[in-house]
Amino acid sequence: MANLTIRYDGKKFMWDKKVYATDPEAEQKEKSYLKDDFEVVKLEEEGKYLLYTRRIVTEIVLEEGGQPL
């Protein structure tokens, strides 16, 4: 089981929960993440590929009902 979280360049990235069998397969997915403005880190682990993403939320909207006590 891959790590759910990694830190890269001081930043936290989250696993997309899929193990990619080949590099082209991972690369193709990576491109789609990048298109959506996610930062992506690709790791190779025992010949398989893992993708980790992150995107800063600039507009924070809290759930309705306010902060719980």
Partner 1 sequence: MKGSVLVVGAGPAGIRATSELVEQGFKVFLVEEKPTIGGKMAQLDKMYPSNECSTCTILPRMLELTSNPDNIKILAFSEVTDIEGTAGDFKVKVTKKPRYVDPMKCTACTDCFPVCPVGGVPMEFNFGRSVSKAITFYSPFPPRKAIIIPDKCDYLVKGKCGDKEQPPCVIACTPDAIDFDQKPQEVELNVGAVILAMGMDEKTAEASESYGYGQVPNVLMSIEYERLLSGLGPTGGVVKRDDGKEPQSVAWIVIDGSSPDAILTAIAEALGTVERNPDISASILYADLNLTKNSYKEFYQMGKDSPIQFIQSECTSVSEGKDGNVSISYTKDGKEDNQLDVEMTVLVAPMAPTSSAQNLMEKIGFTLDETGLVQKKKGDSHPLRTLRDGIFICGSFQEAKGIDDAIVQSCAAAANAAALLESERNTEITPPPKKEHLPVTSVDEPSVAVVICRCGKNIEGLLDIDELAQYTQSLPHVKHVELTPFGCDGVKVKELLQSKEYNRLVLGGCSPRTHEPLFQLHTELGGLNPYLLEVVNLRNHCTWVHSKDPKIATDKAKTLMRMGVNRSNLLEPLDPIHVPVTSSCLVVGGTPSGIACALKLAEMSFQVHLVEREKSLDEVKGNNSPYMKALIEELHRSENVKVYSNTRIAGVAGFIGNYLANLVNSSPKEEIEIGSLVIATNANMRADSSEKDYEKDLILTRDENNSFIGMLGILNPLDFNTDGVFKCGSARGEMGILESIIDGEGAASRVAGIISKKELIKAPTVSVVVDECCDGCAYCIEPCPAQALTLIEYMRHDGSVKKTVDSNEAICRGCGICMATCPKKGIYVNHFRPEFFNTMIQSVREAE
In the complex, the residues that contact partner 1 under the rule CB under 8 A are: 4-5, 10-14, 16-18, 29, 33, 36, 38, 51-57, 60-63, 67-68
In the complex, least distance from residue 46 CB atom to partner 1, rounded to whole angstroms: 19
Contacts of 5 (CB under 8 A, 6+ apart): 12, 13, 14, 15
In the complex, least distance from residue 42 CB atom to partner 1, rounded to whole angstroms: 13
In the complex, least distance from residue 52 CB atom to partner 1, rounded to whole angstroms: 8
